[in-house]
């Protein structure tokens, strides 16, 4: 797949998997549009990549939980005169704790970022890719997408949406030449878990962001609708097909059960 002189829009690009995508694509000669809330982190990454690879990097800070954020972002990209060839919907966050104790505003924002922003950005940029008969969309789902996840109920449900949405889109886009992939990482060495303060939210051995990105780019060449990163994670995601639903939910509940009885859910980002 060609990457040189393409332009990639990456959300959640300031750290973790998003930053790893930026570094990998920059090394392949891809121009970048970096989106996240933290302008300082984006500026630092952009400076690093411009110097190392002589590519164009645009920094567009945005809070994608805002209902009008995607429209504003699209307008900015249009004014810059850029064409988005690769869209990587990576921004997302989770809360760890029971829904009964959750902040309704945070729950709403979680759905807005993990679901609505993904759909809106895809809807904005897919038509032009289809018209050109080339393009790439990578949506970051999760191993959490494969079973209900008590104590992280909204997060698991949003990632199940992303997986289903993306796999359906893969079938729609396949005849047009546009590549679509749902990437499903498990626990990954990113700031996602640093903020949570609850190790029980991280299940299994953590992989590196670079391993996750390598898995995604290899999967694009294979033309598959979705990919789980890591052999152990792949085996875990197959269990729900073999076990009774009640058993699957019970195992998931024990895996991420809070170790404290704090009534306030904590938040993680990727």
Which residue segments constitute the domains of the chain, with CATH numbers given?
Answer: 7-269 (3.40.50.720)
Model pLDDT for residues 229-264, shown as the tens digit of each residue: 999 999 989 988 888 899 999 998 998 999 765 444
3-state secondary structure of 28: coil
Q: How buried is residue 51: exposed, middle or buried, by Cβ count under 10 Å (0-12/13-18/19+)?
A: exposed
Instruction: Provide the Cα torsion 196, 199, 201, 207; round to 10°.
Output: 100
Q: Which of 155, 165, 170, 192 is catalytic?
A: 155
Q: Are 188 and 208 in contact (CB under 8 A)?
A: yes
pLDDT band for position 76 (50/70/90)? very high
Confirm whether 155 is a catalytic residue: yes
Question: Which has more pLDDT, 164 or 270?
Answer: 164
Mean pLDDT of 166-183: 98
- Closest to 62 measured CA to CA, from 22, 88, 34, 84: 34
Per-residue pLDDT, 197: 41
**pLDDT averaged over the chain?**
91
Least confidently predicted of 138-147, 205-214, 234-243: 234-243
Q: How many helices (H) and strands (E) does the chain have?
A: 9, 9
């Amino acid at each position: 797949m060609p990457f040189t002189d393409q332009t990639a829009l990456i959300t959640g690009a300031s750290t973790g998997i998003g930053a790893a995508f930026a570094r990998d694509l920059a090394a392949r000669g891809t121009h970048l549009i970096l989106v996240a809330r933290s302008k300082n982190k984006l500026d630092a990454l952009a400076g690093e990549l411009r110097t190392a690879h002589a590519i164009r990097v645009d920094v567009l800070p945005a809070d994608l939980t805002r209902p009008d954020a995607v429209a504003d972002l699209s307008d900015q990209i249009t004014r810059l005169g850029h064409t988005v060839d690769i869209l990587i919907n990576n921004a997302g966050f989770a809360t760890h704790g029971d829904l009964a104790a959750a902040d309704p505003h945070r729950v709403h924002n979680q759905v807005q970022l993990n679901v609505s922003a993904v759909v809106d950005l895809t809807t904005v940029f897919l038509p032009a890719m289809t018209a050109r008969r080339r393009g790439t969309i990578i949506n970051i789902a999760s191993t959490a997408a494969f079973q209900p996840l008590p104590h992280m109920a909204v997060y698991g449900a949003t990632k199940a949406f992303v997986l289903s949405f993306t796999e359906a889109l893969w079938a729609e886009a396949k005849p047009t030449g546009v590549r679509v992939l749902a990437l499903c990482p498990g626990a990954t060495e990113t700031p996602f878990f640093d903020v949570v303060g609850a190790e029980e939210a991280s299940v299994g051995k953590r992989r590196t962001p670079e391993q996750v990105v390598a898995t995604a780019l290899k999967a694009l060449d294979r033309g598959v609708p979705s990919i789980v990163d890591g052999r152990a994670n792949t085996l875990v995601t197959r269990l729900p097909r073999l076990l009774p639903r009640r058993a699957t939910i019970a195992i998931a509940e024990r895996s991420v059960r809070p170790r404290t009885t704090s009534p306030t859910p904590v938040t993680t980002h990727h």
